[in-house]
């Protein structure tokens, strides 16, 4: 179970209690040091079980959660029966939180948009480059001693410069990827639920998939985007194209993707997220054409620290009667 770290209290008042579900980057909790808050957290980085989250929520004013924490109706109801006022998710996505239940119980939900856009775009473009240029296959051969020396027909990848990049979703991260792609001389098109009014908008997802040399996914996980890229959509993709996903794993039918890669329908894939994290489809694990990273899109010290601080600031704002800028107002 967790331990309670006292941060001081005001005489005669009940101190506000904040549940911190995991160890946060150093310096993230400084905002609480001058306030009458108690922090409920583990001494180690072991995740809280669901039943522990339910129990802890009953006695917390706020929860600072990560995307791996399932903040479902049971957790929120337990909090609502107690004193829970806000759940601040240290992530842009909040599909791990039952937003409808939170609204029903009048519990604010906050996320951390904006601060990780450039960092995640860097990672997405790394995957675009690595998957297109067979970086994993070449590096693996080198490290295992299978590379016998330079050959003109070795590791023949696909050019990124001059390629047609199709972005599915066109929020801040996707637009940052587009900026990087234009620096490589790529033509960029995009698809979104609503017409963006911007050059390159494609209203039909099927058309974008059929035209693109590289497809990069940047949509939130919702009921509408679950398996957005399924067997039928993959069949529409250009022969020998590359697919990159840095959004949420469940946006792609992982089995269908793995089979398409094995059959040579797709040239390569770059994935930072998976349908059943931390498990990865065995066919993908075996494929040298799959560049696989362990969900590190926002993983720089500066960005992760800023995300955690933003979540903590949101807690203070809500508990002290202010409306945070990063308040999630409705389901997208």
* Residue among 188, 220, 193 nearest 204 (CA): 193
What phi and psi values does residue 268 have, to the nearest 5 degrees?
-165, 160
Whether 295 is catalytic = yes
Contact status, residue 287 vs residue 258, Cβ threshold 8 Å: yes
Whether 16 is catalytic = no
Q: Which of 16, 17, 175, 248 is catalytic?
A: 248
**Residues ≥6 apart with Cβ < 8 Å to 48:** 2, 21, 42, 56, 69
What phi and psi values does residue 163 have, to the nearest 5 degrees?
-75, 160
Q: Which of 133, 295, 304, 309 is catalytic?
A: 295
Q: What is the largest CA-CA distance in the chain?
A: 78
What phi and psi values does residue 6 have, to the nearest 5 degrees?
-75, 135
**Residues ≥6 apart with Cβ < 8 Å to 139:** none
What phi and psi values does residue 35 have, to the nearest 5 degrees?
-115, 160
> CA–CA separation, 216 vs 200, rounded Å?
15
Whether 277 is catalytic = yes
8-state DSSP, 91: S
* Residue among 206, 140, 118, 127 nearest 168 (CA): 206
> CA–CA separation, 234 vs 228, rounded Å?
10
> Which two three-digit tokens encode residue 194?
């609503």
> Residue 110: which H helix or E strand, with range?
strand 108-110
Residues with active-site annotation: 248, 277, 295
């Amino acid at each position: 179970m967790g331990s309670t770290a006292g941060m001081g209290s005001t005489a005669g008042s009940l101190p506000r209690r904040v549940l911190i579900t995991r160890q946060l980057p150093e310096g993230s909790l400084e905002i609480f040091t001058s306030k009458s808050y108690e922090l409920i957290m583990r001494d180690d980085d072991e995740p809280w079980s669901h039943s522990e989250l339910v129990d802890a929520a009953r006695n917390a004013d706020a929860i600072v959660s990560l995307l791996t924490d399932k903040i479902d109706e049971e957790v929120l109801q337990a909090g609502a029966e107690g004193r829970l006022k806000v759940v601040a998710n240290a992530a842009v996505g909040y599909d791990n939180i039952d937003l409808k239940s939170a609204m029903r119980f009048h519990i604010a939900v906050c996320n951390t948009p904006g601060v990780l856009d450039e960092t995640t775009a860097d990672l997405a473009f790394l995957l675009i480059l690595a998957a297109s240029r067979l970086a994993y296959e070449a590096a693996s051969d080198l490290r295992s001693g299978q590379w016998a020396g330079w050959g003109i027909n070795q590791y023949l990848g696909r050019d990124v410069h001059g390629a047609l990049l199709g972005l599915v979703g066109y929020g801040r991260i996707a637009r940052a990827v587009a900026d990087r792609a234009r620096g490589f001389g790529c033509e960029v098109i995009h698809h979104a639920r609503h017409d963006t009014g911007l050059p390159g908008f494609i209203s039909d997802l099927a058309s974008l998939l059929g035209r693109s040399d590289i497809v990069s996914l940047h949509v939130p996980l919702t009921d509408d985007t679950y398996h957005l890229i399924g067997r039928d959509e993959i069949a529409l993709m250009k022969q020998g194209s590359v697919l990159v996903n840095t959004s949420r794993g469940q946006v792609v039918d992982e089995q269908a993707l793995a089979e398409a890669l094995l059959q040579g329908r797709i040239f390569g894939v770059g994935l930072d997220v998976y349908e059943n994290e931390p498990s990865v489809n065995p066919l993908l694990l075996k494929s040298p054409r799959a560049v696989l990273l362990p969900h590190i899109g926002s993983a720089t010290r500066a960005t992760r620290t800023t995300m955690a601080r933003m979540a903590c600031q949101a807690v203070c704002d809500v508990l002290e009667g202010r409306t945070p800028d990063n308040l999630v107002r409705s389901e997208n």
